[in-house]
Amino acid sequence: MYLAVTGLITFLVGVVCVAILLFSRPLNRLKVLWAMICFFGGLWGLGFFITYTATSYEVAYRGLNFCNHMVLFVPLFLLHFSLAFSGEEKRGYRELIASYLLVIGIFAGAIIFPQLFIPRLKHIMNFAYYPVPGPLYHVFMAFCIFAYGRSFFTLFREYQRTVSLRRQQLKYFFLGLGAMFLGAIQTVMPVYDIKIEPIGAFAPPILLGLTTLILSKYYLPDLKVFVLRGFLIVVICGAIPALPFTVGANWMPLWKAWLGELWWAGPLTAAIAMSCGGTLLIRYIFDQEAKGISLVSQKALLRIAFGLGRVKTINGISDLIVRLLVWSLKVNSAALYLYNDGDRVFRLKSWRYRGKDTGTTLRTLAGDSVLGRFVSASASPVVGDEIKLRARDEYDVALKLVGEELDSYGADIILPCRAGKRLPAVIILGAPLVPKAIEPAYLVFLSLLANQLTLAIENASSYDDLRRAQEHLAESEKMVTIGNLAGGLSHQLNNRFTTLLFLSRSLEAVISRACQSPLVDEEQVKARSVFRKMEDNIDSSREVLRGILNYSAENEEYEPFDARHLIESSVELVGFKVRLDEFAFNVDIAEDCPKVVGNFAQLQEVLFNIIDNAYHSMMEKKKLKLVNDYSPAMTVRVRVAGGSIYIAIADNGMGIRPENMRKLFTPFFSTKAMTKKGYGLGLYVMKQIVERNHRGRIELRSEYLKGAEVEIALPVQSGAAASYEAEASLRR
């Protein structure tokens, strides 16, 4: 009778599994193959139920034939499923074709010549109907042994070469496959007159249910925990409630003495009470386990929160986050990327390694890349193993590209740090130092952790914004003071420059008349040239004073002028202050370089200060004798690209200390060398002249004791850049 019950259970489980697989999304080949196994397995169970509830030989014979006809296809689709599951379907296609032909042949032979498959039924042990094997049945048994062995071998190789999620799935599959194999052997033994109770008929529903579970979800609890829970459920809810009936058979006289004809109510009441108590006990055990996991997660979150509360700046918080993640999660690496609204790119802010360097140092993650779009659309942690498995199982090209990008970043898990609809940061975690299965509880913990880290990042960003606003306010107050002082200073200096200009022009007129004499000598000609330069520089100085007073104004008149003239005049101006023959000076400017649009005097002063500072940096290095056979050298290069002209001034002097790099454009900041020699307008005002007044850009790159390079980008005359680049391409 229990074989009929097992058959009915197998049929019902098969129907439920087919419905789950075919209605789950996305539907892939693995699910279809396993749905076929569940379908034929369910029909096998239905045949078992018909056979062992039959009251006549003819019905039992038809039921057993139907049952064995259906079971023919189970090992066939199991072999196909195992090859597809391990990615060896193409490699083993010859085996599959031969197996399909063999099974179809056996099925056709069994239909046409039933006596060759199951000639008759026999009575064995307590079973009135059990098949007598024919020649085709022996062939089918041989194929079953091959199919089960090949499937196990294929999946075991997959288990050896894979990690994490797939390995966890295979553990469940091996459990079900082992139960199915042992159950099949035990059920078939009476066919060959080996008298063993076929209790293994309960095994098929286990395999069908477990495999449907692993195909429906990638994140499974640890197999040991799963088996322990199953054992507790069977013992507490199955075996223990059966005790009253087992004991009741021995205590029947006592029950009858107490309850009379209703003696059966005693064991039944005891069984119901034990079942309810067992259910409550299991729930209590599982709740305590969940509380234990939750407590561990809470402690980890508290440790991280305690560390984050001590740091306020975004630089400090970024470095601390990756350190805490590597330490607390025990992963190989952690990298934090912050989103930049300007270019829509996640830029690497901080990273940390604990084990082997996997190369997770790619500086940017484009927001419009395949991985960037996928992470932006994801509300939960992105697990690399899951993406790769889904790409292979679902034959999804887009997911395959996402998996390849994850590998390029050395990413095992990516945490999207969401703040509402915004994604201000992403965190890339490397592989764990000790490989382990990813469980659903761990993903929940990572989601909570990402929320906490997002809050810390947002707070640090707000703190930095507030600090910058305060600095800008203080800076504005200082510059207002400078503006007030510059008004009086400009008036006083302007008066003196006017007097000097009048005197220099008077002297120039005297010398000019003297030069008309036939006795003019070379010194008089040189003196006249010097006075002309004095006049030009006094005019330039007056212009600079006006620039100091109005450097923040945006309505000054700018004119196009030649870049070569700007550089040559700046160098000539420097020549009055320093000796140009003390260092090698190289200028690389194209002959047909387009014109720059701007204020000539302001830009001349900028270049003057840059060249002057570079000179003093080289002389300081030469004086300190830090390098043997040191030869000071300065290079000015000019290039045109993208509607701008780039002027780069490089030297091999002292360079800038790393700790001073971020302070260079801060108002009123100076190093000792700068205080001694002076920058004139100062880097801050130079930056305002270039970036605010001229809509350009100024950048300074330096390596201490090796030199520095200042690059200025300025707009060129409209249309000049395009024509210049076109002519340059034609020349090439």
pLDDT digits (tens, 9 = 90+) for 202-226: 778 888 887 887 777 776 666 666 6
Q: What is the pLDDT of residue 522?
A: 64
Structural contact between residues 339 and 367, judged by C-beta atoms closer than 8 angstroms: yes
C-alpha closest to that of 218 among 284, 274, 162, 285: 162
For the chain, which residues score pLDDT lower than 50? 293, 358-360, 519, 551-555, 672-681, 720-726, 728, 730-732
Long-range contacts of residues 388-396, Cβ cutoff 8 Å, at least 24 apart: 389/165, 389/166, 389/218, 390/218, 392/87, 393/28, 393/29, 393/30, 394/26, 394/28, 395/28, 395/29, 396/26
Look up residue 688 and give its DSSP letter. Answer: I
> Please, what is the angle between helix 135-161 and helix 93-112, to 10°?
150
- Cβ atoms of 543 and 689 within 8 Å: the answer is no
Cβ neighbours around 304 below 10 Å, total: 21
Q: What is the pLDDT of residue 479?
A: 63
| pTM of the entire predicted model | 0.54
What are the strands of the beta sheet with 364-366, ordered from one edge?
Answer: 364-366, 345-353, 333-340, 422-429, 413-419, 382-383
Residue type, 464: D
Owner of token pair 């579970």: 213
User: In 376-457, at which residue ranges do the beta strands (DSSP E only) sit?
Assistant: 382-383, 413-419, 422-429
Place of tokens 């002959």: 591
DSSP 566-622: HHHHHHHHHHTTS-GGGSEEEEE--TTPPEEEE-HHHHHHHHHHHHHHHHHHHHHHH
DSSP structure string for 265-297: HHHHHHHHHHHHHHHHHHHHHHHHHHHHHHHHH
Q: Which tokens is 556 given?
A: 């000054």
How far apart are the C-alpha atoms of 149 and 142, rounded to whole Å? 11
Q: Tens digits of per-residue pLDDT, 556-609?
A: 567 888 888 888 888 877 876 778 888 998 988 877 788 888 888 788 888 888
The Cα 500–Cα 506 span in angstroms is: 10
Predicted local confidence at residue 679, as pLDDT: 38
